[in-house]
């Protein structure tokens, strides 16, 4: 199975990059990307990868490359995390490169290279492995960032949970680690401007659909069932409103200073929210 999936990944990636290359060549009005900008951006990701390896992966290195099927763990929250990371990194790279001819090729290519380097380090690490499903969601995030651009926005929110105290070595020992590791507190959102649905509504007002999961101490549901059968993980679906702060900031006359507020582009605004989970409907007056 892995052999065929690897071929699919290779084929999808090459078709996508070829399409973007042809699009870039047809954009005759655009200027070429600065070699200095490309070098700095590529060098930054290489430096981050090296730092990540020696600060984290080096201590778990097995010396033997291996695969690991984690496609059914954490109720898909880790996969959505990969999609989200690849998506926003591609958009960030495109913004950093500017509106130049090669940005549609270089932005996804740099993101793909960085995300793949992380996955390869997983492949040589004890307790993890190279995940085909991670790579597929990485590619999906990259493709969506380029093809849809800002037609829809992917956002993130987090709240602390008590589950992290049950396994802090896995779910995080402090709030900084828990934001990245505690899937119980993470929610991923897809936001769409309501103006696209009804033109009379303001462009900054958005409809937001979210996905989360709860009661997860172990990634594998079967493993958790063996340890504590009373703790049953479940999925959560959310409906909420959102504010497109980046649209408002972009309209303000602050020029390049607007990039100080860049993280607001990917953070869900706390709003009244409807949650559907365990066949019940719950209203949150204020959810983040």
> Tens digits of per-residue pLDDT, 203-230?
999 999 999 999 999 998 888 989 889 9
Nearest Cα to 102, choosing from 11, 42, 14, 27? 27
Spacing of C-alpha 16 from chain mean position: 19
Instruction: Please provide residue 166's backbone torsions phi and psi, each rounded to the nearest 5 degrees.
Output: -75, -35
CA distance 196 to 122: 41
CA distance 124 to 122: 5
**Residue 33, pLDDT score:** 64
Residue 6 pLDDT greater than 70, yes or no: no
What is the residue whose two structure tokens read 């869900």? Answer: 268
Highest-confidence segment of 48-52, 69-73, 224-228, 237-241: 237-241
* pLDDT single digits (tens) 61-77: 777 889 998 888 999 99
* pLDDT single digits (tens) 179-207: 989 999 999 999 999 998 888 999 999 99
Q: Can you give the pTM of this predicted structure? A: 0.85
């Amino acid at each position: 199975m892995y052999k065929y999936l690897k071929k699919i990944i290779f084929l999808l990636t090459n078709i996508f990059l070829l399409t973007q290359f042809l699009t870039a060549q047809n954009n005759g009005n655009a200027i070429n990307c600065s070699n200095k900008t490309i070098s700095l951006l590529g060098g930054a990701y290489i430096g981050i990868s090296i730092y990540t390896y020696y600060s984290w992966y080096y201590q778990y290195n097995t010396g033997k490359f291996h695969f690991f099927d984690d496609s059914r763990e954490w109720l898909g929250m880790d996969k959505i995390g990969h999609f989200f990371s690849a998506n926003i990194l591609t958009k960030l790279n495109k913004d950093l490169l500017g509106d130049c001819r090669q940005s549609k090729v270089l932005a996804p290519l740099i993101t793909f290279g960085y995300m793949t380097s992380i996955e390869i380090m997983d492949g040589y690490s004890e307790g993890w492995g190279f995940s085909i499903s991670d790579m597929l969601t990485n590619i999906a995030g990259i493709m969506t960032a380029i093809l849809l651009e800002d037609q829809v926005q992917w956002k993130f929110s987090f709240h602390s949970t008590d589950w992290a105290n049950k396994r802090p070595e896995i779910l995080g020992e402090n709030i900084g680690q828990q934001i990245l590791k505690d899937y119980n507190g993470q929610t991923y959102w897809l936001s769409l401007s309501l103006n696209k649905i009804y033109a009379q509504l303001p462009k900054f007002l958005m409809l937001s659909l979210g996905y989360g999961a709860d009661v997860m101490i172990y990634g594998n549901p079967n493993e958790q069932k063996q340890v504590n059968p009373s703790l049953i993980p479940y999925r959560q679906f959310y409906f909420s409103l959102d504010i497109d702060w980046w649209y408002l900031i972009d309209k303000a006359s602050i020029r390049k200073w607007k990039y100080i507020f860049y993280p607001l582009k990917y953070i869900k605004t706390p709003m009244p929210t409807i949650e559907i989970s365990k066949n019940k409907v719950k209203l949150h007056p204020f959810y983040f």
